Structure 1
Amino acid sequence: MKKEDLRIVFMGTPEFAVETLQALVEHDYNVVAVVTKPDKPVGRHGSVLQAPAVKKYALEHGLPVLQPEKMKDEDFVEQLKSYNANLQVVVAFRMLPEVVWAMPEYGTFNVHAALLPQYRGAAPINWAIINGETQTGVTTFFLDHDIDTGRIIMSKPFDIPDDADVEYVYDGLMHLGAQLCLETLEQIVATNGHPATVAQSEKIEDKDLKDAPKLFKENCEINWNQKAKQVYDFVRGLCPIPGAWTNLITQDGKETLLKVYRTSKTGQSTTAAPGTICIEGKRLLVATIDEWLCFEELQLAGKKRMMARDFMNGMKELDQCHVG
């Protein structure tokens, strides 16, 4: 098979997916159509429609764009069939029904931002950092009936520095994912559409599988009854989006939502109750169950994101407040 024999439909939505689509275009792969989410209403009244990043790139390069509301819609399925694709590539998209993922002759493969079978789910980058992992990666695998469980084609590791947040890892995996996609396509071409694959069950090796569920406000709340390292990882694993949060509670019991974007470890042990706030010179400290953490970047509800020292200047009697 030659690369020109591949007729590819690309599916994706955010900037993360654009990097891979761009790699396909720049390496002269035949992308016959692009599927992405519908335009999103934005603005105060939702009167302005914002196109997904993938759509913007596709239109700039003359690629046909499909934006189905429902992936099982009969008109969409028929339209998709009309492109006669023999391979589909998915990056940061939605769950596909079998009528879609099983359509091409050579199947549909996904570029997933984790080293499967670990971190199956919607937020693999966040949860790898939250759990204090020192390494993650990217995996390509063929889709099947269950989410993120298909046979693995290839994978590449990526190191996570101790001070890295989501933005750092996101950018790294975005570039690595595009590279891995190209290497996967090379394997598909070299093997006439049938690259060697490995079942995920062969990679589990009795290890505990860690999931990567979707993030909601409820699971982004900081639990101060943990060790400082756990809280530190939790905060950076949600920075910059969606952001970890807690409540700032005054002496009279008034609560205000406080987003915490960055902390630093002090190594100073404490016996103070978790959530206790302490001002030490120019540092704003908070107690965990074993050590003090130092607040670095914060955002009080209705205010701008700011450095902790500026936050301290604008807040009175902080040493009489606590968080929780």
Structure 2
Amino acid sequence: MSPEKQRIIFMGTPDFAVPSLTALNKMGCEVVLVVTQPDRPKGRGRKVVYSPVKQTALELGYSIAQPASVKTSEFFDLINSCTPDLFVVIAFGHILPKNILAIPKQGAINLHASLLPKYRGPAPIQWAVINRENKTGITAMLMDQGLDTGDILMTSEIDISSKDTSSLLHDRLALAASDLLIKTLSGLEANTLTPVPQDNSLATYAPLLKKKDGRIDWSKSAEDIEAFIRGINPWPGAFTMNGEKRLKIFAADVIASSIKQPPGTVVGETREHLFVATGKDLLSIKEIQEESGKRHNIKDYLCGCNIRPGTILG
């Protein structure tokens, strides 16, 4: 059955999944239902907002379901009534139970933002940057009941540059996912894909990052801290404390140095630079923001706020 004639149920929630849903629409696929997370309050005003996938589905005229749970009989009946040939699942946010996965005639495809079996889990993009990987990618797999454990159908590699933030890498990977999805559907139609089991002995996990996880550990090397700052930009955002004052760090450079000071010690401050000792080398902070303040480059920030040498950040 050609991809255009398949009855597809698409499941996804965040921005990452939007290019793939759009690609299915452009290809002329029959998307019989879009399943996404329930609307949630967001921001200081706690205004209820649609997920990016719901917003796109509304614009494209698709039917939408937003179950609070995928384990209810009501959700099973809804999915079963759609008589789907295939699920396409991208960053949905739920693990589908066995009875749901058994519904589509041709199974379920999941696209994951790593080269599996590395970085299974909810935050593969961030951890790839944090861990200073030089490449990552997208994996298209057949879904099973495990967390990103299904047999691999296709992969697409993406280089990670030394300047990539998780945000920049996210956007490139989202587009790569949409391209790989179409190639995977075409490969399945042509019967040219052979599912390959993952080597579980090589598996690593990319756990969800919480706000508290953004605190900088100055005992690590400057290289590791700089990658950490990029990897959690924009969420949860790297920060350190200057006394009771929370400082958010957006960008930094590594400065080779033999200076030996306790990690977190400010060892140099001029009108344009702020250098901090780490476990190895110095970190030159480039962009900074005080809590409830504006984001500044370091030169502008130091014009109005001095952080004297000997100050210990933590």
Short-chain TM bin: over 0.9
Distance 1:220 1:163 in 2: 19
Shift of 1:129: 0.4
Shift of 1:56: 0.9
Residue 268 of structure 1 is aligned with which of 257, 261, 270?
A: 257
Shift of 1:45: 5.0
2:137 maps to which residue?
137
Q: Does 1:179 align with 2:179?
A: yes
SS at match of 2:147: coil
Distance 1:297 1:36 in 2: 36
Matches within 5 A, 1:104-253: 104-191=104-191, 195-201=193-199, 207=202, 209-249=203-243
Shift of 1:44: 4.0
Q: Deviations over 1:144-176 (max 9, x none)?
A: 121011100100100001111112111110110
| Percent of pairs with identical residues | 37
Task: Give TM-score scaled by structure 2 length.
Answer: 0.95
Shift of 1:3: 2.5
Distance 1:98 1:2 in 2: 26
Which residue identity lines up with residue 62 of structure 1 in the other structure? G
1:80 maps to which residue?
79
Distance 2:291 2:141 in 1: 42
Q: Runs of 5+ in structure 2 lacking a partner?
A: none
Residue 288 of structure 1 is aligned with which of 262, 278, 287?
A: 278
Q: Deviations over 1:266-311 (max 9, x none)?
A: 2233211110112045111111122111101112112122211222
Task: Give TM-score scaled by structure 1 length.
Answer: 0.92
SS at match of 2:216: coil
Shift of 1:124: 0.2
Residue 257 of structure 1 is aligned with which of 237, 246, 263?
A: 246
Distance of aligned partners of 1:221 and 1:102 in 2 relative to their CA distance in 1, 3 Å threshold? farther
Shift of 1:317: 4.5
Q: Runs of 5+ in structure 1 lacking a partner?
A: 250-254
Q: Which runs of 4+ in 1 moved over 6 A?
A: none
Which residue identity lines up with residue 176 of structure 1 in the other structure? A
After superposition, the CA RMSD in angstroms is 1.6
Matches within 5 A, 1:49-64: 49-64=48-63
What is the total number of aligned residue pairs between the two structures?
312
Distance 1:97 1:263 in 2: 44
1:71 maps to which residue?
70
